[in-house]
Amino acid sequence: MIITDTAIILHGRKFSDTSKIIHAYTQHHGKISVIAKGVRSAKSTMGSSIEPLRCSSITWYRYPNKDMHLLKSAEIAIPMHNLTSNYECLMSSMGIVEILSSTQEPEEPNQGIFDIATQALIALNEDKCHETPYAIVLLFLMHLAKAMGFGMNVQSCCVTGEVISIDEDCLFSFEKGGFISDSVSMPQSESILLNSSAVGILQEMDQSMINTCSLHIPIQEQVTLLSLFQRYFSFHSHKSYRWNTYPPGITTS
């Protein structure tokens, strides 16, 4: 069967002297793996269209009951050449594809997830959030959690419905998926205390759209929120997530 679909190229690796294995997240077929034969040769015309961070139209031969298919052709669908010209946007874009690759199962399509990932890459390419590009990664994570079925409730208490103030520190429950007011008792092992700054940022993110994002998030809060999302996704996906693409300017041991 020959299939054509729009795809976000996640990553690739060498396969023989002239070929590569490409992993991509497609609009209608989910995450797939294909062998791109001869793509590393000088005569290949597909090279740039199957590089990571590209949004391309790809055609492949699909083999039933196999997890590796054969790439037939590829061409750029949405040009995003500016991603590599800005270091912070580049690192943030790499964060998007790393998260997308690690959280999605093979050949499980989700139109909503494809749309928000594409919107995030386009927003970074257009430098929509030039003060804090990594804010788009965090906003992508918030939208991704909702698309995967465990969206956050950050405006009111998950138990009582009481409005959460941005002026106070607040407990975030991983099990309940949101903030818990002081009147509710929750096991510490299932929650984390966030300062008022992080609370306010999450509430602002909850009302923000990826394609118009203009959030400014201090670097320390970027790290705090990334840690929150890692723990939150791990709790609800029953996997251990520790993404390697940190906010630009942060080094880890």
pLDDT recorded at residue 84? 85
- 17 and 48 in a single domain? The answer is yes
Cβ–Cβ under 8 Å, residues 7 and 58: yes
- Taking the C-alpha atoms of residue 40 and residue 79, their distance in angstroms, rounded to an integer, is 21
Closest CA to 91 of 241, 235, 222: 222
For 37-195, where are the E strands, in sequence order? Answer: 55-61, 69-78, 170-173, 178-180, 191-194
Cβ neighbourhood burial of 14 (10 Å; 0-12, 13-18, 19+)? exposed
- Give CA torsion, residues 77, 25, 10, 206, to 10 deg: 100
List, run by run, the mean pLDDT of 10-residue segments along the chain (253 residues): 97 91 97 92 82 96 93 94 89 95 96 98 92 94 97 94 88 94 76 94 95 91 95 94 80 51
In a domain, 244, yes or no: no
Residue 252 Cα to chain centre, angstroms: 20
The token pair at 205 is 């993110």
pLDDT recorded at residue 28? 97
| Residue at a domain's end among 62, 79, 96 | 79
Cβ neighbourhood burial of 73 (10 Å; 0-12, 13-18, 19+)? middle
- 96 and 193 in a single domain? The answer is yes
Closest CA to 104 of 37, 36, 30: 30
| Residue at a domain's end among 61, 79, 97 | 79
- 196 and 127 in a single domain? The answer is yes
pLDDT recorded at residue 253? 44
With a threshold of 0.85, does the pTM exceed it? Answer: yes
Which residue range forms the structural domain that includes residue 60? 2-79
- Taking the C-alpha atoms of residue 85 and residue 87, their distance in angstroms, rounded to an integer, is 7
- 62 and 163 in a single domain? The answer is no
In a domain, 8, yes or no: yes
- 29 and 139 in a single domain? The answer is no
User: Which CATH number do you get for residue 68?
Assistant: 2.40.50.140
